[in-house]
Amino acid sequence: MTDRDVPADTDPRVTSWMEVVRLRTLPAAVAPVILGAGAASALGVASGPRILLAAGVALALQIGSNLANDYSDGVRGTDDDRTGPPRLTASGQVAPRRVKYAAFGCFGVAGVLGLVLVILTGQWWLLGAGAAAVAAAWFYTGGSHPYGYAGLGEVFVFIFFGLMATCGTVYVQAGGVPGWVWLAACGIGLIACSLLMVNNLRDIATDPQHGKMTLAVRLGERGARRAFVAMVLVPVVLAVAATAWARADLGASAGRLLGDGTPIWGVLAALVLVLIVVAVRTLRPVLAGATGRALIPALRDAGLYELAYGGALALALIVVAA
């Protein structure tokens, strides 16, 4: 949306709140749950209410993390000079404490929904996992020693928005997590990392001035672009491997036909083709050398790619288990 797209009577703070929620990043929360739901369906244990609760937890954590990042970077002055959309705290339109309270509110919602899941499953140790996820969301840029400023952001994104989100969704339904789910979770976790990588690549010139030594900064522009390419392409291989493993684990036959006589592997090949097409679209701005605000489309496309990946792989798992 451009300034010309915003009605004249629109409160600018509304637009800013929409920016700080960072709609482009929300697929990172939803996609792993979709993948986990597909895996649970393949295992024959899918539960609609538990899937919705898991999605609610993931979305609340993602939005809370974005708000916490806006607050912490804003009060540190990191967002005073940035190439992306303006942030709410740094702009001064809203008091920093309101942004912080909004973040805590989202964490509270995630906690309540997570507690319901814990009660349903009876697995009380999950409360510890939830507390760790909230801590990771806050200390990414919060606290006296934020790990995001030390270049560890991708590590925690991979763990919490890849492994935990996907495998956790399966666990609360199946009570266990097969090996092929972990492989699929690694794929979607890498794509989640690609969102953070391209976001930090966009700000690679200004972050060091504020002591923010992200992985992109540490790798350098050339290394960061290569890492982004790997984070986008490797998941395609992992999707094929996870699907093949699931087929073997679930006892399906690769030669078995669908109702219309189409070989299952033909369907899976079509799904992989879709992933490659979306991946190439995602890579285009980065490979073309785009910098600054010109990388925003890559951030959007990476989010859409993750959503497509989660949906396509979920469908593939359901097909091979049918």
pLDDT digits (tens, 9 = 90+) for 207-265: 898 888 999 999 999 999 999 999 999 999 999 999 989 988 886 544 444 444 445 66
pLDDT of residue 292: 85
pLDDT, average across residues 53-62: 94
Indicate whether 174 belongs to any domain: yes
Indicate whether 80 belongs to any domain: yes
pLDDT of residue 321: 82
Indicate whether 82 belongs to any domain: yes
Q: Which of 136, 135, 69 is nearest to 99 (CA)?
A: 69
Quickly count: other Cβ atoms within 10 Å of residue 186's Cβ.
18
Q: Which two tokens stand for residue 310?
A: 């989660």
Least confident of 2-6, 76-80, 238-242: 2-6
pLDDT higher than 90, residue 59: yes
Indicate whether 292 belongs to any domain: yes
Indicate whether 126 belongs to any domain: yes
What does pLDDT average to over the chain? 84
Percent of the chain residues past pLDDT 70, beyond the cut:
83
Please classify residue 251 by burial: count the beta carbons closer than 10 Å to its beta carbon, then call 0-12 exposed, 13-18 middle and 19+ buried.
exposed
pLDDT of residue 218: 95
Which helix (H) or strand (E) segment holds residue 46: the answer is none
pLDDT higher than 50, residue 6: no
Q: Report yes or no: 305 and 232 within 8 Å, Cβ to Cβ.
A: yes
Confidence of residue 71 (pLDDT cuts 50, 70, 90): confident
Report DSSP state, residue 152. -
Any residues with CB less than 8 A from the CB of 129 and at least 6 apart, and which? 164, 168
pLDDT of residue 5: 38
pTM (2 decimals)?
0.87
Q: Which domain holds residue 67?
A: 12-321
- If one counts the domains in the chain, the total is 1
pLDDT, average across residues 189-213: 91
> Any idea what the CATH number is for the domain that residue 79 is in?
1.10.600
Q: Which two tokens stand for residue 291?
A: 């910098």
Between 204 and 264, whose confidence is greater? 204
* 257-297: pLDDT as tens digits: 444 444 566 767 777 888 888 898 889 999 999 988 888 88
d(CA 140, CA 147): 5
d(CA 200, CA 181): 29
From residue 50, alpha-carbon distances to 36, 117, 163, 168, 175 in Å are: 11, 7, 18, 11, 12
pLDDT of residue 76: 73
Indicate whether 171 belongs to any domain: yes
pLDDT of residue 299: 86
Indicate whether 158 belongs to any domain: yes
pLDDT, average across residues 12-26: 62
Q: Report yes or no: 164 and 129 within 8 Å, Cβ to Cβ.
A: yes
Indicate whether 5 belongs to any domain: no
pLDDT of residue 293: 84
